[in-house]
Amino acid sequence: MQWERLLSLKRQGDTNKRLRAEQDETRLGFEVDYDRIIFSSAFRSLQDKTQVIPLSKTDFVHTRLTHSLEVAVVGRSLGRQVGKQILEKYPHLSEVHGYKMNDFGAIVAAAALAHDIGNPPFGHSGEKSIGDYFKNGGGKRFEAELTDKEYQDLCTFEGNANGFKILTESRPGADGGLRLSYATLGTFMKYPKESLPHKPTKHIADKKYGFFQDDKASFQDVAEELGLIQTRSGKDISYARHPLTFLVEAADDICYTIIDFEDGINLGLIPEEYALEYLIKLVPHINRSKYSTLTDKAARVGYLRALAIGTLIDEAVSIFMKNEEAILGGVFDKALLDKSKYEAQINDVLKISVSNIYDSDEVISKEIAGYEILNTLLSARCNAITTTPTHYDKLVLKLFNTRSDGDYTLYQELLEICNQVSVMTDSKSVKIFQQLQGMNING
């Protein structure tokens, strides 16, 4: 892969080539991507979507929105540091094409900002509950009418693929979705493959999938413009990751590892002494006199969190640059932090988070409720797919604000239903659940 192509400013529908050297420095195209994501309704909905603790109303806990903003900040730092070294290694990118260090930071920040935009209510359990409805629940009745890949898209509903749809799909008044630069879209695509074959290799890019069958042509258009290496062809296509995708993944890994741990301590789910015991291992140098003067628990933990994140940013940049040629060749097959000298320490932190936060009674009970809520919503909406809808079905369609424009195949209609549910906030899905149950009729 070549950086000149990977940094493409092209947007969906462009007829003329966009050159970096001709960009307005006060309104750079990659920065426009960030702005468009920030102002999108799908991004705003993340303010009421679960990061770890579903439906939590405390001051401490992160939502998908605050998590995404933090990942974008870390991603910007990663991108700028890598960009500086890339331009030193390949000076023609700056001298001939006009690219600058901050371009890399802007691309990674925008892709990182959008990385959870396709996630449904109730966190990753929401993805699983949607998939389970089609694999084992009422949605199984549609299997015979769909292709294997179409059905797999539904049975393993994937927030990353749904995010690509949200960012690129034309809607009334919005041709090309948000019309982001192809560099940002490519960086967003963590898993550049179809839903089948499922995990064909142990390569990190094959772990999940990144686009629905309905968006295959859009995906290929982006991949070909960027010059991504095609790793499978024919009836099953896949590509190597955009190199900057590894930085988005690292930013996400850093934030959820360290900040979820911080949330657990601030909520009292993890003892504070664990912060010093585990985070200190990620901090080579600490000002102990400063630490001892911090009288507030949140301030002490926040100090350690900031230092740990700084350490892991430097570590991820170092790993990226050491393996930059393998990454460009599409043969680097792990997440950056899987190659880290701090891997054992990171895993220790994650183990504590799993046992004390992710597997806590509060999280499990609310995830169970989320399953029931989303199953009820999907059931009501899918039951309204009929040639002779009942009056109740028509009411359900109105409740979901169902689009009536265009002719859809069954697969496209089912994808639209999944999208309708996925873009809901946690609170909105609870409200509709209560309405379907005949509750909260005055709400």
pLDDT band per the 50, 70, 90 thresholds, residue 134: very high
In a 3-state reduction of DSSP, which class is residue 50? strand
Burial of 66 (0-12, 13-18, 19+ CB in 10 A): middle
Residue 379 makes CB contacts below 8 A (sequence gap 6+) with: 133, 137, 138
Q: Which two tokens stand for residue 241?
A: 């990751």
pLDDT digit string, tens, across residues 330-380? 999 999 999 999 999 999 999 999 998 888 887 888 889 889 999 999 999
Q: State CA 369 to chain mean position distance.
A: 23
Cα gap 160→190, rounded to integer Å: 7
Specify the CATH architecture of the domain 362-436: Orthogonal Bundle (1.10)
Ramachandran quadrant class, 439 (left: phi over 0; alpha: psi -120 to 50; beta: rest):
beta
Dihedral over alpha carbons 313, 317, 322, 324 (to 10 degrees): 140
Give the per-residue pLDDT at 58.
53
* Residues pairing with 197 in the sheet: none
User: What are the residue ranges spanned by the domains of the chain?
Assistant: 245-359, 362-436
pLDDT digit string, tens, across residues 43-78? 999 998 877 665 455 555 678 999 999 999 999 999
Fold category of 245-359 in CATH: putative deoxyguanosinetriphosphate triphosphohydrolase fold (1.10.3410)
Give the per-residue pLDDT at 13.
85
Q: How many residues does the chain have?
A: 443
- Bridge-based pairing of strands 238-239 and 230-232 is antiparallel
pLDDT at 394 over 70: yes
pLDDT at 157 over 60: yes
Element (H, E) at 426: helix 426-436
pLDDT at 116 over 90: yes
